[in-house]
């Protein structure tokens, strides 16, 4: 985390963060009563391959505000973080680190090593995220985060896949689809849609020579200079041409040009075709040597392709149907020549026509985007290389066109700019390419998905029928297979006949795993001398053999083993295990020479704890274990449990892969029993810890156990791992025992994402009942780009599995863009301020509120403005902080109350009630900007009106002060609750500043305030209806009238501290409201029901004197503040003699002695009507 200058606000926030952590406030918010039950929230996991940016922050703030609100409303809202771990984003980073350019580089490096590098890369920035996310005020459990690479998550993904497959929604097909030639993988519709951008390209019109002697229509016969013109924007596909397509009912023209060549093209396009339009005669068609016919007349016409690499292949399948003209419905006369060049391997329409007409299938480009060897003139050339240099990017197309020119097949070319798809990860131009892929049949369930979509509430609402609805209406079947490495392996296996087996769990995997037929029995040694003496012997004591009791134990166990037909024995080479093994062998009739002693079966190396003999030796070991951890820590000079477990795993798997149908007895130590349990389950660190806590030291002396061992796909630590290459290192068989081979692809990582609701909980393998009670989610939130991604895939899989939406309410945020150019924020371009710098400068609350109150939470783009964050900090949070300081300055322990009858108190309580209602309405409708926007206005009313108008009440003694303090304390406490979801830090600060012993420990443990029902006094108002509303309307009008009157003062150059006689207003104000207006404008009286607003600007001597007194009082107050005095401090005040007459009879607050002098040295002066008056003071000791 970058070091940035830290503001006082940021320091205070970090103090509050420390308070939350120390007192476990988030955890307590999950434990507190939740009378309204569960509120389910799904958190889309980010990649941890970089630091958080503003897009993450927007989403995080939204995901924090709603659960905080719902918690305060009485719901239980679990929030567990997750990490997105799989896919091209990670692979591309590792490829870049290793300098790899192609997929073959990964295979040469080794898939296992590559995937382990990916695993390590995934969590590179986790520590930064774990600091940043809490720092912006988000409550979420990051310590128990799920990872999409965990085998539990992947197992649930397999379950989802099998469920979808069993419903008949998964199929394999060979079709034309977009691939990335650099990544060498297929892409889904959504991934393709994400990567379109405008590029320069070359379109070429090609001459296809018609075989002479063929008759077209009734009159025209082709000669050896007759050509069909076809137009293409992908010249690189021309070597794969096998046919031309025309519109059956389109009118075509054959025109002979002055060069003696005749060209066939669509009549309607004659004036648009480069090379033809120039020969048009005065806007008329060609005057002579022209023939017209329908597309039907061209069907069957044979021609010579411009590239004959495949036509001369006499063994080419369906060769007889190639290089002819066919009719096709997709031919239009919108662009080109009205005749389409057909390459079935490189286009959806082309491939469909190829299948229909049984055209030869020519795929002259390899999966890596390079020309195949048989295309001799261009072999090895990349057809669409990635480059910012147009000459490089279009190099192959340019050379294709040169070839056409040199071989008489070129007619014309043109430059164009069009939208072309690029890889969403590596930015390589995509190819439309015929290949095999697996699909989820979205179209089969589209009507159901559309119906389910009607049940979802969107914020903003237009997304429902707009961006999401339209995408859903146009959805195509989902390509879910990828030809990559770091992802969930596709759980599809086939036998030699192509029959499919889909695995949906680890247990199913075990059922299909081919085993050696071995039976494994494990035996612990009998009681040894070391057991009696309670020493930890790693093998250093050659005398540590069996006791008499131990020998008896072994002999008894051996009798039980006789019936089991042991064929092989392995043992630890330590004396106590060796003696045990030999005694057993003798009783089983096995020669002791056949016992195999293996170092991997040795006892745990206790290191510095070895050979310690005392009554508390076990305690010594357990104390070490608890202090240091048994799994990956070792006592000095010893080994960790992982090392023990791994050597045992190595031993066990070696037996499984080298022996067949043996009955094996393994004689070892207690540690081997522990290791066996973990290895059998393929347990990872967390699972191993749970297992060990339950079984450690449970093996009795001379105990024999059968090991139900089935080899699992595992990594080098013998942990269950369903990734490549481990998944393919176990041999599966079908019910007949025939070997199965896995489909080598991996799953689209969006399948992981769409499975997240189930996989994060390891459903249906754990907590099944709890999950089913809380599905679907009541709330999710992400960026607008996820309408075609995560939201969509959640919806598809939720519909496929349960015929219901996966979520009920969703907030969609827009994109945060650069204020400089409106473009996406980019670290490389440095077009945005570092988020942590902004937080350290203005505080997280300011950033949160700036975002929550902006259009970005309503799916609109936001040009990020640091000035906007600064405005929030100063105008809102600064004012709020000042109000709290004001309260704390005057607080005397008066309890919070909402019963005051004072008009200002009643008004601020009514405003609080209004605030609660408006903010509640916003949150209830998931409109976060509507929930945030009432807050600044309330802060302004509280600070600039209520507190300012009530200042004198706080200074007086008695009931007036008590009512004001009680009301302000109540309002601060309740408004802190209202602000808590959006402004968690300052809300906590305020709450802690006013809370009583009866209040919860934290504002985030408080209940949401209900709309105030405090009684209003019997005020005389002219507004009928609700009294709160009448008071709010009246006070709002008072503020408006005051603003107009003050503008009149300003226009006349009269300071506000100068009292005036009267203000006339056209409104019928109540006496209390008129009194507030008079005080605000500083007039003696307010005349109501006047024809118009009018201010009496005449100043009498009495008014001038009163104004001077106010002016001096203000100057004195400012001077006291500058000197750092408190309201309780009294002073000896010395004033210039010229002010004697003015002040001699005036009681000045905080002045114990008043005296006058002919001259007084500044620093303090007061600008009075008769001139500037200097004064000084000193603190008066009491």
Residues that are catalytic = 525, 603
Task: Name the helix (H) or strand (E) containing 810.
Answer: strand 809-813
User: Which string of DSSP letters, residue by residue, matches 299-345?
Assistant: TT-BEE-S--TTTT-TT-TTGGG-SEEEE-TT--SSSTTSEEEE-GG
Whether 631 and 642 have beta carbons less than 8 Å apart is answered as: yes
Cis peptide before 764 (omega within 30 of 0): yes
Q: For residue 544, give the DSSP letter.
A: -
Q: Where are the alpha helices (DSSP H) in 878-983?
A: 879-890, 903-924, 928-932, 934-940, 948-955, 959-979
Of the candidates 394, 492, 429, the residue with the CA atom closest to the CA atom of residue 166: 492
DSSP string, 495-517: -TT--EEE--SHHHHHHHB----
Residue of 957, 1001, 997, 993 whose CA lies nearest to 973: 993
Query: Which DSSP state fits 638?
Result: S
Q: Three-state SS string across 1051-1119, please? A: HHCCCCCCCEEEEECCCCCCHHHHHHHHHHHCEEEEECCCCCCEECCCCCHHHHHHHHHHHHHHHHHHH
> The tokens of 957 are what?
């003694």
Buried b (16+ CB within 10 A) or exposed e, 650-684: ebbbebbeeeeebbbbbbbbbbbbbbbbbbbbbbb
Give the integer Cα–Cα distance in Å for 685 and 284.
Answer: 82
> Residue 335: beta bridge partners?
none
The Cα 89–Cα 86 span in angstroms is 8
Q: What whole-number distance in Å separates Cα of residue 480 and Cα of residue 560?
A: 54
Strands 704-707 and 596-597: unpaired
Bin 649: left if φ > 0, else alpha if -120 < ψ < 50, else beta: alpha
The whole-angstrom separation of Cα 515 and Cα 733 is 10
Residue 1107 in tokens: 């104004």
**In angstroms, rounded to a whole number, what is the distance separating the alpha carbons of residues 994 and 970?**
8
Q: Distance between CA atoms of 762 and 159, rounded to whole angstroms?
A: 10
Mapping DSSP to helix (H, G, I), strand (E, B) and coil, where does residue 932 land?
helix
As to burial, measured by CB atoms within 10 angstroms (0-12 exposed, 13-18 middle, 19+ buried), residue 736 is exposed
Which pairing describes strands 185-186 and 457-459: parallel, antiparallel, or unpaired? unpaired
**887 to each of 355, 936, 956, 983, 1006, how far by Cα in Å?**
82, 19, 14, 20, 21
């Amino acid at each position: 985390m970058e070091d940035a200058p830290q503001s006082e606000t940021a320091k205070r926030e970090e103090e509050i963060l420390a308070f939350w952590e120390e007192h476990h406030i988030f955890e307590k918010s999950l434990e507190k009563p939740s009378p309204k039950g569960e509120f389910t929230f799904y958190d889309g996991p980010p990649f941890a391959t970089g630091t958080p940016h503003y897009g993450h922050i927007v989403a995080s703030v939204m995901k924090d505000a709603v659960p905080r609100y719902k918690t305060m409303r009485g719901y239980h809202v679990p929030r567990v973080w997750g990490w997105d771990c799989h896919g091209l984003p990670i692979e591309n980073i590792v490829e870049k680190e290793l300098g790899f350019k192609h997929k073959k580089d990964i295979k040469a490096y080794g898939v296992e090593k590559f995937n382990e590098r990916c695993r390590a890369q995934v969590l590179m920035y986790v520590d930064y995220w774990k600091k940043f996310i809490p720092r912006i005020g988000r409550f979420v459990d990051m310590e128990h985060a799920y990872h999409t690479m965990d085998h539990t998550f992947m197992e649930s993904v397999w379950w989802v896949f099998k469920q979808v497959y069993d419903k008949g929604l998964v199929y394999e097909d060979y079709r034309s689809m977009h691939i990335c030639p650099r990544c060498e993988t297929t892409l889904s519709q959504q991934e393709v849609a994400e990567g379109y951008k405008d590029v320069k390209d070359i379109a070429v019109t090609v001459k296809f020579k018609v075989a002479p002697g063929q008759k077209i229509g009734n009159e025209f016969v082709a000669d050896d200079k007759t050509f069909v013109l076809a137009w293409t924007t992908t010249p690189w596909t021309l070597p794969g041409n096998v046919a031309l397509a025309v519109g059956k009912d389109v009118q075509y023209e054959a025109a002979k040009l002055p060069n003696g060549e005749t060209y066939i093209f669509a009549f309607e396009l004659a004036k648009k075709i480069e090379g033809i339009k120039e020969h048009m005669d005065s806007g008329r068609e060609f005057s002579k040597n022209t023939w017209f016919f329908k597309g039907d007349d061209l069907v069957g016409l044979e021609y010579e392709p411009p590239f004959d690499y495949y036509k001369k292949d006499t063994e080419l399948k369906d060769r007889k149907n190639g290089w002819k003209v066919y009719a096709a419905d997709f031919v239009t006369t919108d662009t080109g020549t009205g005749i389409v060049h057909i390459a079935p391997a490189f286009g959806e329409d082309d491939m469909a026509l190829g299948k229909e007409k049984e055209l030869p299938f020519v795929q002259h480009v390899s999966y890596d985007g390079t020309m195949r060897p048989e295309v001799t003139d261009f072999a090895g050339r990349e057809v669409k290389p990635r480059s910012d240099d147009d000459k490089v990017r279009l190099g192959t197309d340019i050379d294709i066109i040169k070839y056409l020119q040199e071989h008489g097949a070129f007619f014309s070319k043109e430059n164009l700019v069009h939208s072309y798809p690029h890889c969403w990860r590596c930015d390589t131009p995509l190819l439309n390419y015929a290949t095999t892929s697996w699909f989820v049949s979205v179209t089969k369930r589209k009507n159901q998905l559309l119906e389910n979509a009607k049940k979802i509430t969107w914020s903003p609402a237009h997304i429902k029928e707009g961006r999401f609805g339209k995408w859903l209406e146009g959805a195509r079947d989902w390509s879910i297979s990828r030809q990559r490495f770091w992802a969930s392996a596709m759980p599809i296996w086939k036998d030699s006949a192509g029959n499919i087996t889909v695995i949906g769990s680890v247990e199913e995997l075990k059922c299909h795993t081919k085993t050696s037929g071995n039976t494994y029995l494990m035996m612990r040694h009998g009681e040894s001398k070391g057991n009696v003496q309670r020493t930890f012997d790693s093998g250093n004591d050659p005398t540590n053999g069996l006791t008499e009791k131990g020998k008896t134990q072994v002999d008894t166990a051996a009798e039980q083993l006789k019936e089991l037909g042991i064929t092989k024995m392995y043992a630890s080479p330590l004396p106590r295990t060796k003696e045990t093994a030999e005694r057993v062998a003798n009783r089983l009739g096995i020669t002791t020479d056949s016992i195999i002693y293996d170092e991997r079966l040795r006892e745990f190396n206790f290191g510095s704890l070895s050979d310690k003999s005392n009554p508390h030796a076990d305690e010594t070991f357990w104390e070490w274990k608890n202090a240091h951890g048994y799994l990956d820590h070792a006592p000095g000079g010893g080994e960790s449990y992982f090392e023990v477990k791994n050597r045992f795993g190595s031993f066990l798997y070696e037996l499984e892969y080298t022996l067949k149908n043996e009955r094996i007895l393994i004689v070892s130590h207690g540690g081997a029993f522990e290791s066996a349990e973990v290895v059998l389950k393929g347990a990872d660190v967390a699972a191993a810890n749970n297992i060990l806590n339950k079984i450690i030291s449970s093996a009795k002396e001379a105990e024999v156990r059968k090991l139900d061992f089935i080899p699992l796909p595992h990594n080098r630590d013998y942990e269950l791992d369903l990734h490549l290459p481990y998944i393919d290192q176990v041999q599966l068989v079908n019910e007949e025992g025939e070997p199965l081979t896995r489909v080598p692809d991996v799953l689209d990582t969006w399948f992981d994402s769409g499975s997240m609701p189930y996989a994060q909980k390891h459903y249906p393998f754990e907590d099944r009942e709890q999950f089913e009670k809380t599905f679907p989610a009541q709330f999710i939130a992400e960026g607008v780009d996820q309408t075609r991604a995560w939201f969509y895939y959640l919806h598809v899989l939720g519909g496929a599995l349960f015929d219901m939406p996966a979520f009920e309410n969703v907030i969609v945020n827009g994109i945060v863009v650069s204020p400089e150019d409106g473009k996406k924020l980019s670290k490389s371009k440095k077009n945005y301020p570092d988020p942590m710098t902004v937080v350290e400068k203005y505080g997280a609350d300011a950033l949160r509120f700036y975002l929550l109150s902006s259009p970005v939470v309503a799916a609109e783009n936001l040009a990020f403005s640091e000035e906007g964050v600064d405005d929030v900090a100063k105008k809102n949070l600064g004012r709020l902080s000042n109000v709290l300081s004001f309260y704390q300055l005057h607080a005397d322990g008066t309890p919070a109350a909402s019963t005051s009858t004072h008009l200002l108190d009643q008004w601020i309580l009514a405003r609080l009630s209004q605030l609660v209602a408006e903010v509640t309405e916003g949150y209830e409708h998931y409109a976060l900007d509507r929930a945030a926007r009432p807050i600044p206005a309330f802060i302004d009313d509280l600070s600039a009106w209520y507190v300012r108008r009530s200042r004198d009440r706080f200074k007086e003694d008695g009931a007036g002060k008590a009512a004001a303090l009680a009301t302000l304390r109540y309002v601060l406490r309740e408004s802190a609750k209202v602000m808590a979801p959006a402004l968690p830090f300052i809300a906590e600060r305020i709450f802690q500043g006013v809370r009583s012993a009866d209040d919860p420990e934290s504002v985030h443990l408080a209940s949401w305030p209900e709309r105030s029902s405090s009684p209003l006094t019997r005020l005389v108002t002219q507004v009928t209806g609700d009294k709160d509303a009448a008071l709010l309307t009246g006070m709002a009008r008072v503020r408006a009238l005051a603003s107009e009157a003050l503008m009149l003062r300003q226009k006349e150059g009269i300071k506000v501290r100068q009292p005036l006689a009267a203000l006339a207003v056209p409104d019928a104000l109540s006496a209390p409201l008129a009194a507030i207006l008079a005080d605000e404008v500083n007039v003696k009286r307010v005349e109501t029901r006047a024809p118009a607003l009018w201010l009496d600007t005449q100043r009498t001597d009495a008014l001038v004197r009163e104004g001077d007194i106010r002016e001096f009082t203000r100057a004195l107050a400012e001077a006291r503040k500058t000197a750092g005095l408190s309201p309780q401090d009294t002073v000896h005040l010395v004033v210039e003699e010229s002010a004697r007459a003015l002040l001699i009879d005036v009681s000045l607050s905080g002045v114990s002695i008043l005296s006058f002098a002919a001259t007084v040295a500044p620093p303090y002066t007061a600008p009075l009507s008769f001139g500037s008056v200097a004064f000084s003071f000193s603190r008066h000791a009491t």
